[in-house]
Amino acid sequence: MRIQGEVRRLHWTRWTRWVLWGLWLACLAFIIWFVTEAITLFLQAESW
């Protein structure tokens, strides 16, 4: 019974780690996208 709880906790921590990595990568991708959009908009405004 104790081993099953340990396995469940290990699985939960591994799942949590994957979710946190996914959120971190999503935030990073959003920041990169936002910066590139801002730069392109700024360059378009400069070209006018």
Q: Mind listing the pLDDT tens digit for each residue in 19-40?
A: 999 999 999 999 999 999 999 9
3-class state of residue 48 by DSSP: coil
DSSP string, 12-41: HHHHHHHHHHHHHHHHHHHHHHHHHHHHHH
Q: What is the pLDDT of residue 19?
A: 95
Radius of gyration of the chain (CA): 21
Distance of alpha carbon 22 from the chain centroid: 4
Compare 20 and 10 and report the one with higher pLDDT.
20
Structural domain spans, the chain: 23-48
pTM of the model: 0.62
Distance separating alpha carbons of residues 32 and 29, to the nearest angstrom: 5
